[in-house]
Structure 1
Amino acid sequence: MDETQTRPELSQVEQVPAIPPSRKRQLDSDDDAEPRTKRARTTRPTSEPARLTRQNLARFNKMGKKGTSKAPPSTSDPSIGSSGKSSGTTRTLSTTASGFADQAYKNGILDPLDSKPSPNFEDVRERLARSRATASPPEPEYKRYINKVEGAPNEATLVYEVGGKLLKEYDDEGYSRAFNQAFTGYPDDVGFNKGLSAPQPDFVEGLRKREYRPFPVDERVSGAVLYKDDPHSLTLPHLAGEWKGPGKNMKEARMQAAYDGAALVYARNQALSYMGKSDPSGHAEITTFTTDGTNLNLFAHHAAPTEEGALEYHQYPIKSINLIDSYQGYKEGRKHLRNAQDYAREQSYALKDQLKEYCKQQRHSGLHSVAEEAPLLPVPGIEPLNAYEDEGDYEVVEHQPIYQPTPPTSSKLKHSKSHRLHSTPHSSKAPSSTHSSTHSSGGKRKASSSQSSHESSGHVSKNRSY
């Protein structure tokens, strides 16, 4: 019995037809550069063609597998965002790049080691530890949880299994959540995110953009609307979370959560600033969490200025809980996380109501001051509008677009304007909205200090009104 019968693979190699002479000349021809280039990438770097042996075929197949590109991931994979890109790719660029931690630190994003507790930190900790009105989960559920976590092969499975057991679901149609979605609507380079890609938390929960109508929150508040060109985008959320798969680096998750928290703090501060308000100095109203299914870590976030005036974003730990060591630990973790959800939801609704009420007041104020045009800002080379404040009377002519100061009344002025004044020489014609009060008093309008103050407030009101 020959060797080809005992080793069939040799027979298959020997049965490969030889390359015809004409084809061989074509491959070796200098006129055909493309085949020569491909051959140079897949064969030995010599002028002699590789022999068609079993070893060379195996080597060729191995090289072909290395060079084969993988098929694009399916968009049904929960680890892939709406952009169609794998979350692992984008997260690598934004968080595990060698310079991320250093750049974040330069931008003022502090880790727990450098962060300081907020003045209301004890209130935050107590709030998350409060007993809930609902019953605790039964012990069999805890045992099922352990089984799910220990059997999870990857991060996507943990997000589904852990999220379903620990997180609370709300029935509000306008209050929603998103998983692994980059903040495509977030502004670039607003300080803390300089040189960094957009935040992309594994979990974020908040109100939808439509709940803020008629207030144009996307136009008025920087960083409020998370997703670009999405009328249902989450807006001004107060809670975000990061998951890690089995055996993954939880320190990386904490760093991602610090970035997420800074983004939410910035947006909240912008919303309050728009209304002329602010949280008490250093108060924490934003919460983030990290978990790998086994451990749950909660953080409070706030911003505070340094002595030099720069803004720093603090991430201070609230509590760390082991979810699988004991039934009590599982209940504690579940309670803390759900309390954090409830408080974030309360803060989201409260901020939304404040913005809408402020919008309503601005519109109402604008309707009552239609006739009182806001004074223009000073223009170089032109005297300010209050230059004649103490030099005599002036009148406001109906339909006149801008206040024009009028010099002191003279007989010549009265004569030139007699065709459009009342019979009383000192009464001026007021705009329609203030005519009745002016006519009844019979007096002339003067540029008093109280009126100047009112006009100044009207100017601010118009600038903030839409």
Structure 2
Amino acid sequence: MAGNFDKPRLTRKNLALLNSLNGDSKSTKNSDYFESDTMKSTPTTDPDFEQKAYDNGIMDPTASKQPHDADIVKHHLTLRRQSTQPSERAHEEYCYRISRSHNETETSRLVQSKLMIDYEDRNRHYGRSNGRAITQIPQQDFNRGLSNPLPDVLEGLVTDTLPTSLHGQSLHSNTRSSSSLALCHFATEFKRTDANLRQAVYQAAYDGATLVNARNRTLAEAKVHAASVQGLGVVVDKAAKETAVLTSVNDGKVVGVYAHHFQDGEYHQNLVARESLLLYPNRGRELIRNAQDFARRKSYELEALFVADMEEE
């Protein structure tokens, strides 16, 4: 969807709007706006990461508040799909191969190839990155002292297929790379089959907080544009109230999908659904794919706010 429109200047008023949506009333220095400092920062694998994330306002599921639209999100994620289900033989093969998986890489590769939708085969506008750090985020309270998020899987719109004026929404520095993504709403953390998923849940909480923060900054920019397009402001306001970001935690045997939102100065993570990939393979596969479709739809809806602006002009 090519097109051009003028990006709003980063005035004091616009910057205040960006910060207010993310609960940060302090101005962001230009030198700090694009990439969080990874020097002397705590990686997500560090034993102290959980406590530091919590201190920064990233809540785990036990401390999180439910979003107002939790039932709506759960409805979408638990729908039965009309697509053909894997055969019994295919399921047996999956169970055998996952039982022989000894590390995160093997688990990730198997789940992606057998259970997840590969949108890149169908639409080059929507893509996936594997193990690539999210670097294009401003330094704020929620990521203070933490290394850049490093989700095992991230899905979103391919940056270089977007209008040039939307390249600033990219979560990666090299916008010409096919794995540079923007307007992302879905991330996954994998663990090997015999690992404790607790660490993955906290890593997903950080991934989700980052994507919510990025979405809110994009919505703030859309709000500025909406002033010149009749009726668009109402659409932007509605989008700002929706839970849109999802993450999943997966060890090849069990998958849990979490919804993320920002409320009262904190980033919250709520378990929406959990399914066995061994005992109830079709349900687990459906949950993963429903989550992917849900997040993909939110990415396109967010892009449409700017496309509508261009078409009106």
- TM class by smaller structure: 0.7 to 0.9
> Which of 203, 207, 230 is matched with 1:256 structurally?
203
State the Cα deviation string for residues 112-168 of structure 1 (Å, max 9, x = none): 001121111111111111111212211111111100100112211111112111101
The letter for the 2-side match of 1:269 is: N
Give the whole-Å Cα distance in 1 for the aligned partners of 2:55 and 2:203: 15
Q: Give the SS at the match of 1:270.
A: helix
Tell whether 2:251 aligns with 1:273: no
State the Cα deviation string for residues 190-220 of structure 1 (Å, max 9, x = none): 2211111111100011111123214x1244x
> Which of 295, 298, 302 is matched with 2:257 structurally?
298
Query: Is the Cα contact below 8 Å between 1:282 and 1:303 reproduced in 2?
Result: no
Counterpart position of 2:102:
153
Query: Is the Cα contact below 8 Å between 2:157 and 2:299 reproduced in 1?
Result: yes
> Which of 136, 141, 144 is matched with 1:185 structurally?
136
Per-residue deviation at 1:177? 0.3
Q: Give the SS at the match of 1:119.
A: coil
Cα–Cα, structure 1 residues 149 and 139, in superposed 2: closer, same or farther, change >3 Å? same
Query: Is the Cα contact below 8 Å between 2:259 and 2:269 reproduced in 1?
Result: yes
> Which of 318, 339, 343 is matched with 2:272 structurally?
318
The structure whose residues are more often strand, as a share, is: 2
Q: How does 1:60-459 map to 2 (within 5 A)?
A: 93-170=42-119, 171-187=122-138, 189-214=139-164, 216-219=165-168, 224-232=169-177, 233-276=180-223, 277-279=236-238, 283-305=242-264, 311-324=265-278, 326=279, 329-361=280-312, 364=313
The letter for the 2-side match of 1:154 is: N
Counterpart position of 1:15:
none
Corresponding residue pairs, total: 258
Give the whole-Å Cα distance in 2 for the aligned partners of 1:287 and 1:218: 22
Q: Give the SS at the match of 1:256.
A: helix
Q: Give the SS at the match of 2:261.
A: strand
Query: Is the Cα contact below 8 Å between 2:160 and 2:167 reproduced in 1?
Result: no
Gaps of at least 5 residues in structure 2 are: 1-38, 224-235
Per-residue deviation at 1:245? 1.2
Give the whole-Å Cα distance in 2 for the aligned partners of 1:93 and 1:193: 10
Give the whole-Å Cα distance in 1 for the aligned partners of 2:220 and 2:241: 15
Give the whole-Å Cα distance in 1 for the aligned partners of 2:196 and 2:44: 12
Query: Is the Cα contact below 8 Å between 1:184 and 1:227 reproduced in 2?
Result: yes
Give the whole-Å Cα distance in 2 for the aligned partners of 1:238 and 1:196: 21
Cα–Cα, structure 1 residues 265 and 279, in superposed 2: closer, same or farther, change >3 Å? farther
Give the whole-Å Cα distance in 1 for the aligned partners of 2:238 and 2:210: 16
Among all aligned residue pairs of Structure 1 and Structure 2, give the percentage whose two residues are the same amino acid: 33
Per-residue deviation at 1:358? 2.2
Query: Is the Cα contact below 8 Å between 1:296 and 1:322 reproduced in 2?
Result: yes
The letter for the 1-side match of 2:275 is: I
Give the whole-Å Cα distance in 1 for the aligned partners of 2:69 and 2:126: 26
Give the whole-Å Cα distance in 2 for the aligned partners of 1:174 and 1:280: 22
Give the whole-Å Cα distance in 2 for the aligned partners of 1:109 and 1:207: 25
Give the whole-Å Cα distance in 2 for the aligned partners of 1:331 and 1:98: 35
Give the whole-Å Cα distance in 1 for the aligned partners of 2:143 and 2:195: 25
Task: From the CA coordinates, give the structure whose radius of gyration is larger.
Answer: 1
The letter for the 1-side match of 2:137 is: Y
Per-residue deviation at 1:235? 0.4
Query: Is the Cα contact below 8 Å between 1:206 and 1:239 reproduced in 2?
Result: yes
The letter for the 2-side match of 1:292 is: D
Higher relative contact order (CA 8 A, sep 6+): 2
The letter for the 1-side match of 2:148 is: A
User: Normalised by the size of structure 1, how large is the TM-score?
Assistant: 0.53
Per-residue deviation at 1:236? 1.2
Query: Is the Cα contact below 8 Å between 2:86 and 2:282 reproduced in 1?
Result: yes
Per-residue deviation at 1:185? 2.3
Give the whole-Å Cα distance in 2 for the aligned partners of 1:94 and 1:287: 22
Cα–Cα, structure 1 residues 274 and 97, in superposed 2: closer, same or farther, change >3 Å? same
The letter for the 1-side match of 2:186 is: L
Cα-Cα RMSD: 1.9
Cα–Cα, structure 1 residues 346 and 297, in superposed 2: closer, same or farther, change >3 Å? same
